[in-house]
Amino acid sequence: MTDTRHERAPGDRPSREMHASAPSEFLVYTIGLIVALLLTATSFWAANTTLLWTGGVFLGLAVLAIAQMGIHLVFFLHITTGPESTNNVLALAFGVLIVFVVVAGSMWIMADMNQNMLMPSAEPTIMRLQH
Amino acid sequence: MNIAVAIDTVPQDTPPSVSETGPAPKRVVVAYGFWIFLLSDIIMFAALFASYAVLVRSTAGGPGGAQLFNQVTVAIETVCLLVSSYTCGLMSLAINSRYRLGTYLGAILTFALGAAFLTLEIREFSDMIARGATPERSAFLSAFFTLVGCHGLHVTLGLIWLVVMMVQVAVMGFVPAVERRLLCFSLFWHALDIVWVGLFTVVYLMGVSP
């Protein structure tokens, strides 16, 4: 990275000249590793414990996974909110949007179709009563 | 407004904007292009995740996730991949300071941990197949082997890529082209770890918990 005015390559750290107070790069990776390990341990604990209400575990695991992905992006891939990484963040946001549409859309449509397929056989008496 | 007045009012000490500095350095362009590729790769994984989520209950009377998955193996695999992501980061620090021994050390650790992950995964797969849980047994197992196998294939390709990069470092040294490829490799390796976070949560933890 030679010119600080340019966009920053994804994965590159912000240059030290611009951010004199930035922590050392070794420290950034180590903090990322420790936080990620803690989140992973929490995920495995939450999936196996009987202390928590089982209905909430599903949501908790999803939140922990998204948090850990965020930690990876910030501490390992160095995605920041700075002006020099705008393009990277915009591309990432578009990718996340498509991922959300593909996963949520597929599950929604398939669950809906599944329900429509099951209706005649699952509840024949109710169907007859309604007509 | 008069153009001459507009030019006069621009402060002289501000750095020129991105559009005035000309094309970005090749390192930025290459890494950005690879970033786009990684995002499209993640979108492909999203499609596999979606098919897995749709088919997870379609066990066709065969074994389900709770009977097949061993959480201890998965935990070891997760730690292996996470620490290998960390050593890959340390390797990129060594590359940035042109420290050859540190680069080799980081690469060896990354390779060893990645290979340990892959060995555990292959053992898990062969164990499942030996117990009759083959991909053709049920739609759930087809989706499982496609999703996890695709990630394993990416890890395999990453390991081969890492070996090739170390040969290039040994032969060509830290020339700009090799540094760009190493940057792309570290992006690839970190992205694989991000996919694995989603994978172990959705497949192994949510599949086992009631």
pLDDT of residue A2: 41
Chain B positions in Cβ-Cβ contact with residue A12 (cut-off 8 Å): 27, 31, 183
Chain B positions in Cβ-Cβ contact with residue A76 (cut-off 8 Å): 85-86, 89, 190, 193
Query: Is pLDDT at A21 greater than 50 in this prediction?
Result: yes
The residue of chain B nearest to residue A111, with distances taken between CA atoms, is: B54
Q: Taking CB atoms and an 8 Å limit, are A107 and B18 in contact across chains? A: no
Give the mean model confidence (pLDDT) for residues A30-48. 93
pLDDT of residue A4: 47
Residues, chain B = 210
Largest CA distance in chain B: 81
pLDDT of residue A126: 44
Burial class (CB in 10 A: 0-12, 13-18, 19+), B155: buried
Query: Is pLDDT at B108 greater than 90 in this prediction?
Result: yes
- CA A8 – CA A83 distance, rounded (Å): 9
Q: Taking CB atoms and an 8 Å limit, are B39 and A94 in contact across chains? A: yes
Query: Is pLDDT at B56 greater than 70 in this prediction?
Result: yes
**Domains with residue ranges and CATH for chain B:** 68-210 (1.20.120.80)
Measured between CB atoms, does B105 come within 8 Å of chain A? no
- Best of A74, A78, A86, A103 to disrupt the B interface (most B CBs within 10 Å) is A103
Burial class (CB in 10 A: 0-12, 13-18, 19+), B158: buried
The residue of chain B nearest to residue A3, with distances taken between CA atoms, is: B25
Give the model confidence (pLDDT) of A79-126 as tens digits. 888 778 888 999 999 999 999 999 999 999 998 888 888 655 544 444
Give the model confidence (pLDDT) of B150-174 as tens digits. 999 999 999 999 999 999 999 999 9
pLDDT of residue A91: 93
Q: B140: how many CB neighbours lie within 10 A of its CB? A: 22
pLDDT of residue A130: 43
> Which of B65-69, B180-184, B194-198, B202-206 shows the lowest mean pLDDT across its residues?
B65-69
3-state DSSP of A18-52: CCCCCCCHHHHHHHHHHHHHHHHHHHHHHHHCCCC
| Residue in the block written with tokens 């730690």 | B79
Chain B positions in Cβ-Cβ contact with residue A26 (cut-off 8 Å): 90, 93
pLDDT of residue A125: 46
Measured between CB atoms, does B16 come within 8 Å of chain A? yes
- CA A15 – CA A1 distance, rounded (Å): 8
Task: Output A14 or A29, whichever has higher pLDDT.
Answer: A29
